[in-house]
Amino acid sequence: MATQDAGTLEVVGATRRFGAVTALAGVDLTVRRGEMLTLLGPSGSGKTTLLKIVAGFETPDEGAVRVDGRDITMAPPAKRDIGMVFQNYALFPHMTVAENVAFPLLMRRIPRAERERRVQETLKLVDLPTHGGRLPRQLSGGQQQRVALARAVVFDPQLLLLDEPFGALDRQLREQMQLEVRRLQQRLELTALFVTHDQEEALVMSDRIAVMGQGQIAQLGTPEEIYRAPSSRFVAGFIGESNLYRARPLDDATAELEGGMRVPLPHKWPGGTGDLGLMLRPERVRSLGPDDAADIAFDGLIEEVVYLGETIKYRIRSDDGRLSVLARWPLHEANRILSSGHRVRVGWRSADMHSFPWS
Amino acid sequence: MSASATTPNELRAGALRRRWWRRHRDGFGSLAAAGPALLFLLVLYLIPMAMLLAQSFEGASLPHYQKALTDDLYLRVLFDTLLIAACVSLLCLVLAYPVAYALSILPSPWPAVGIAFILLPFWTSVLVRTYGWMVLLGRNGLINRMLSDLGVIETPLPLLNNMTGVLIGMTHVLLPYMVFPLYAVMRRMDPNLAQAARGLGASGWDVFRRIYLPLTLPGVLAGMTLVFVLSIGFFITPALLGGGKVHMMAVLIEQQVRMFLNWGFAGALSAVLLGATLLVYIVLRRLLRGNMQWS
């Protein structure tokens, strides 16, 4: 399969309103060649609207969509050369697996011999070489998913769109399919736009993630950047678990948390812009010995215990009642399970926190 | 083998009996529930029909059947009946398909409104509706008068007392039987399928021909079967709108009974009609089953 013509996707100032509701408010986005970019956000964040605009099922009120510099904003879906995997696969129930996969080739008037060769090749690629004669309903959920994927890539599209494709699968299969889709996308060097509301899935699948909220991109970055350094409260709250504190800056290096505790800041704070938010990942909270020191340290009581198998989560409240923190620690022999009411001393380095403007 | 002790074989037989009963218990239950309806059909439909058919057999040479199946007139009428039924089915399909499609995609209150408009005439007596068409289609009927007032025509169109009138009237009466099976199938269609097809490069025509039509075919065949089978036995509408010029089997049978009191021949014609109906039903059923494989 040729990959040289895989495209760059550009969305410029895309805006879409439904009556009084603005679903998409001037979004700019570039997906690079061969990149898997994920649109991550809660329902109503505009991610599906953006995907539909790229696919051609919606027309933006303002803005443009370009593939390799070619403006396709007004092009009908059939003329866009985009492969799409739908939420519920949307396999044609009256066609066999092979007929489903051949459909985009048939629509492109590709001769029969060539068609059959490519269908067979693609079915092999998704590990279903002998299933061509079956009907979709005779396949398992994971197999149907693979057929949908084969149908979306068989015609060597410039762009692959995936709309929450793993929603209908159980957890184990979902994880397996995530890796398979990722592998296939990398192998074919396809430019891909992936929509999901599942943050774990986004972290696993993506080269870059665009976190969306209220019709805008709240943050765009690699999974690691988004997880480590969220740019706002919204992103911090949406990706992974976190302790979020509101703080008042005292100078460019210190701030006072809402309960009154003073903490050193992880980054130099420019100041003057009102309150700031401090985020701390639960796995960065450390258990301290009685005399250990840390940038931030306090004695407290375990209020709540959540057993998660490999790890355990504790909610700990400081003795003075000013601070409550969620800690997650790995469970191994040295770490026995503590029960609620147990006294602990915890702390963390200032650099383990991440700061951003509160508003 | 002693007489008093239960042998393993008897035990086994008992177990088998119980298993048999358990397996068929539900079947008997539904049979009992359907009892009154079955009894009703038996007494008022099956027995009279058997009596009519019994009268059609007269000796070993079956003269009535010979006449019904060899006489040009009767073969001609049988052919016309089937032809009219086929035309009505096709007309209904062509008219009902877009209506059902529109109903299936309209937003919330409108499908119910549309269905009410289809059901209202459906609940009106066929006789009343047929007389209504006579008023509309006659030489001096509403349609002809309007067309000549507008200067479109000079002489009235022959719309009544001929095949045109029969087809119009029958199509009107039978249209709901086509709309509802189609609507039922179309409403269950996954709208994503058409979207997926378009995304994969299909034109509007391709989406219709390769996705929408094949997936609604079960509804098409179900509706065609209903309309065709009902058309074959139609009586009132062809009798009134055909003006004695359009002959359908049911009209002929009624004539034999009412005018000639020839119960035997009427019975033979009924048997031929019934046979033809069953044949068509079986063929369409086959088609339907072959097509339904995927669902």
| Residues in chain B within 8 Å Cβ distance of A167 | none
ipTM: 0.79
> Cα–Cα distance between A323 and A340 in angstroms, integer?
17
Phi, psi of B119, rounded to the nearest 5 degrees: -75, -35
B161: which 2 tokens? 């007392």
Q: How far is A87 from chain B (nearest CA, A)?
A: 9
Q: Which of B200, B203, B211, B295 to mutate to test the interface with A (most CBs of A within 10 A)?
A: B200
pLDDT tens digits for range B83-103: 999 999 999 999 999 999 999
* DSSP for residue A139: S
pLDDT tens digits for range A305-348: 998 888 899 999 999 888 899 999 988 766 778 888 899 999 99
Cα B263 to Cα A359, B66, B247: the distances in Å are: 94, 15, 19
Contact A107, A115 (CB under 8 A): no
> Cα–Cα distance between A260 and A249 in angstroms, integer?
12
pLDDT at residue A1, as a whole number: 41
A202: which 2 tokens? 């986004």
Task: Please report, for chain B, the start and end positions of each structural domain, with discontinuous segments joined by +.
Answer: 1-56, 63-294
Which has the closest alpha carbon to A147: A133, A167, A164?
A133
pLDDT at residue B284, as a whole number: 81
Mean per-residue pLDDT for A126-149? 92
Q: Which of residues 157-196 of B touch A (CB under 8 A)?
A: 190, 192-193, 195-196
Bridging pattern class, strands A159-163 and A191-196? parallel
pLDDT tens digits for range A1-34: 444 445 799 999 999 999 999 999 999 999 999 9
Q: Do A87 and B196 touch (CB under 8 A)?
A: no
Q: How far is B177 from chain A (nearest CA, A)?
A: 25
pLDDT tens digits for range A232-284: 999 998 888 899 999 998 888 888 888 888 888 888 887 666 889 999 999 99
pLDDT tens digits for range B56-76: 887 666 888 888 888 888 889
**pLDDT higher than threshold 70 for residue A155:** yes
Of the candidates A55, A56, A94, which has its C-beta nearest B215's C-beta? A94
**pLDDT higher than threshold 50 for residue B250:** yes
Lowest mean pLDDT segment, chosen from A121-130, B48-57, B182-191: B48-57
For chains A and B, count residue pairs whose Cβ atoms are closer than 8 Å. Answer: 67
> Which has more confidence, A334 or A298?
A298
Scored b (16 or more CB within 10 A) or e, A23-33 reads bbbebebebeb
Give the containing element (helix H, strand E) for B68: helix B63-70
**pLDDT higher than threshold 60 for residue B1:** no
Q: Does B214 touch chain A (CB under 8 A)?
A: yes
| Residues in chain B within 8 Å Cβ distance of A154 | none
| Residues in chain B within 8 Å Cβ distance of A55 | 199
Question: Does CATH number 1.10.3720.10 belong to domain B63-294?
Answer: yes
Q: pLDDT band at residue B293, thresholds of 50, 70 and 90? A: low
Mean pLDDT, rounded, of chain A: 90
Q: E strands within chain B?
A: none
Q: Does A103 touch chain B (CB under 8 A)?
A: yes
pLDDT tens digits for range A44-98: 899 999 999 999 999 999 999 999 888 999 999 988 999 999 988 999 999 999 9
Question: Tokens 């443009």 map to which residue?
Answer: A64
Measured at the CA of B235, the angle between CA B229 and CA B236, to 5 degrees, comes to 130
pLDDT at residue A334, as a whole number: 63
**pLDDT higher than threshold 70 for residue B292:** no
Q: Domains of chain A (ranges plus CATH)?
A: 9-235 (3.40.50.300), 241-357 (2.40.50.140)
pLDDT at residue A289, as a whole number: 86
| Residues in chain B within 8 Å Cβ distance of A51 | none
Contact B95, B175 (CB under 8 A): yes
pLDDT at residue A271, as a whole number: 67
pLDDT tens digits for range B88-142: 999 999 999 999 999 999 988 899 999 999 888 888 888 888 888 988 998 888 8
Q: Do A78 and B203 touch (CB under 8 A)?
A: yes
| Residues in chain A within 8 Å Cβ distance of B215 | 92-94
Mean per-residue pLDDT for B45-61? 81
> Which has more confidence, A163 or A3?
A163
Q: How far is A242 from chain B (nearest CA, A)?
A: 38
Q: pLDDT band at residue B220, thresholds of 50, 70 and 90? A: very high
